Homo-oligomer: A and B are copies of this chain.
């Protein structure tokens, strides 16, 4: 039940982008280098990850001087589930309960397989969280933790 480093880094980067208010609206983009430094992620590895997210339509980018990345949609419309699936594949712990990538798992009778029933519950519990938590939700929650700790934003 593990989130890969790819998934972790990608999610952290997206959350950071959601939590970075563009006070300076003329510079809505953030560079790979800055994300890499602030989140402590290898820049070359992060490049790949952001590119994948871009090709999946979750990020937009601007090339050339003054370029960088920005969310393809409002933070409220991007869920952690979408990001997760792009980077780490299906959420289901076992293929026979996957909605996105169903495949029989090889048990003698899938219809009455007890493991499948339970893993279906697990899948639903995970999906409930990941597909109903947007980047905005995370950014807000983060902010509220910061305030309850008496820290200033950023």
A interface residues, Cβ below 8 angstroms from B: 1-3, 8, 11-12, 15, 19, 38-40, 80, 88, 90-94, 105-108, 111-115, 117-119, 121-122, 125-126, 128-130, 133, 138-139, 141-142, 145-146, 149, 151
Question: Across chains A and B, which 6 residue pairs bring their CB atoms closest together, nearest first?
Answer: A114-B142, A125-B125, A114-B138, A3-B93, A15-B114, A3-B94
**Identical chains bound together, number:** 2
Q: Can you show 24 pairs from A to B with CB atoms below 8 A apart?
A: A1-B90, A1-B91, A1-B93, A1-B126, A8-B105, A8-B115, A12-B113, A15-B114, A15-B115, A39-B107, A40-B106, A40-B107, A80-B118, A111-B145, A112-B142, A112-B145, A112-B149, A113-B142, A114-B141, A117-B145, A121-B129, A122-B130, A125-B129, A126-B126
